[in-house]
Amino acid sequence: MKLGDVAGNAAAVGRLRAAVRDDRPAAAYLLHGPAGLGKRRIADGFAARLLCATPDGDDACGSCAQCTRVAAGTHPDLKVVERDQERRDIRTEQARELTRWLGLRPLMAERKVAIIDDAECLNEHGQNALLKTLEEPPGAAVLVLVATRATLLLPTVRSRCQRIRFDPLEPAEVTALLVARGVKADAAATMAARAEGSPGRALALIDDADAGLRTTILERLAELDRAAAVDCSALAQAMAKGAVDAALDVVVAWYRDLLAVACEGDAARLRNPDVRAALATAAARTSVPAVLRQLECVCDTVDAVQRNANRALALETLLLDLRRIERDPAGQAA
């Protein structure tokens, strides 16, 4: 992995390139921003450049013994800390072991590099275990924290890192990335809008196994005011059988687009540009307060599902509530 292999966020990557070009990296970095922007890939590329024996300017060469070991995951001076799949947090012992490891001398390279992926999954004890290293960093070590929600990290941790924020890419950048992968231009533009600036999410849409369900959900939402209760139940069952998070994401995107069209008309930037006509029709028969109430219902359902509510029942209740508001946007029904 090289820094040049990751698209977008040129300013953020430029700060890392400048640090290695001047051979003055900070002791700790916090790479943060929404998921799917390539933060971990950039952290890997940064680590490769820091350890590279024959760097190509401000990037790794990709072919020396150091780079080969980094790519194989066997470099003795690179350590990656990740959350175990069966756990919701990174174990405190992992953080303590990392601090001990960082205090050792490098074995092959001039410095040691550690990456903590999903750093916000460190509990308070784990974060506190890192503080001594952050306050008194070893001279030959660089620590890179990668986080989606930096606010979950303690202020004492954030303040001791050089923070580098990553922002969603422009739709044109994501579209170009998809076209380069062989996606047709029209389909790429639609996927880019759905991905909301996330290259990772956009690439996942190329082989989207739930594309058919997305089409069904959008079609049903467009005519929800005419749907019978049995239709709502059938759709809820179909959504519950698949990836519920992805299905709810489709519902959220519909109502966000509906709100945008109701407020901005044809000028609205949509996440679902392929159903703009259906959204315009739906917006003509509703109101902004009604759409806001519908979005509130969807958000409540997302929260309930995350708290292990019965999925089919939660989804059916949601669709019936959305239909009720759709039929009475003024909110005067009993």
Question: pLDDT of 299-313, one tens digit each?
Answer: 999 999 988 899 999
Q: Give me the percent of the chain exceeding a pLDDT of 90.
A: 62
Per-residue pLDDT band at 210 (split at 50, 70, 90)? low
User: Which residues of 23-139 form beta strands (DSSP E)?
Assistant: 28-32, 78-81, 112-116
Would you state the pLDDT for residue 324? 94
Q: What is the pLDDT of residues 191-209, one digit of tens each?
A: 888 887 888 878 877 776 5
Residue 231: pLDDT over 70: yes
Q: What is the pTM of this model?
A: 0.73
User: Chain-centre distance of CA 196, in angstroms?
Assistant: 10
pLDDT confidence of residue 187: 83
Give the residue among 90, 98, 115, 150 at the shortest CA–CA distance from 28: 115
* Residue 209, pLDDT score: 56
Q: Could you tell me whether strands 162-165 and 78-81 are parallel, antiparallel, or unpaired per DSSP bridges?
A: unpaired
Q: Which residue has the tokens 């028969």?
A: 285
Residues 6+ apart with CB under 8 A from 67: 48, 51, 52, 53, 60, 61
* pLDDT confidence of residue 180: 87
With cut-offs at 50, 70 and 90, classify the pLDDT of residue 75: very high
Question: DSSP assignment, residue 114?
Answer: E
Residue 329: pLDDT band with limits 50, 70, 90: confident
CB neighbourhood size of 21 (10 A): 14
* For residues 62-87, average pLDDT: 92
Mean pLDDT to the nearest integer, 149-176: 91
**Interval 138-165 mean pLDDT:** 93
In 3D space, the residue among 320, 318, 292 whose CA is nearest the CA of residue 305 turns out to be 318
**For 168-184, what is the mean pLDDT?**
87
Q: What percent of the chain has pLDDT over 70?
A: 98
Determine the average pLDDT of the residues in 98-116: 93
Torsion 7-115-90-161 (CA) sign: negative
Q: How many Å separate Cα 135 from the centre of its chain?
A: 30
Distance of CA 28 to the CA centre of its chain: 22
Question: What is the DSSP code string of 35-63?
Answer: TTSSHHHHHHHHHHHHH-SS-BTTB--S-
What pLDDT digit, counting tens, does each position of 35-58 carry?
888 899 999 999 999 999 999 888
Q: In the prediction, which pLDDT does 333 show?
A: 47
Residue 334 — very low, low, confident or very high, per pLDDT cuts 50/70/90? very low
Sign of CA dihedral 60, 202, 184, 170: negative
Residue range 101-115: mean pLDDT, rounded? 93
More confident residue, 298 or 187: 298
228 burial type by CB count under 10 A (0-12 exposed, 13-18 middle, 19+ buried): exposed
Q: Report pLDDT for 331.
A: 66
- Name residue 110's amino acid: E
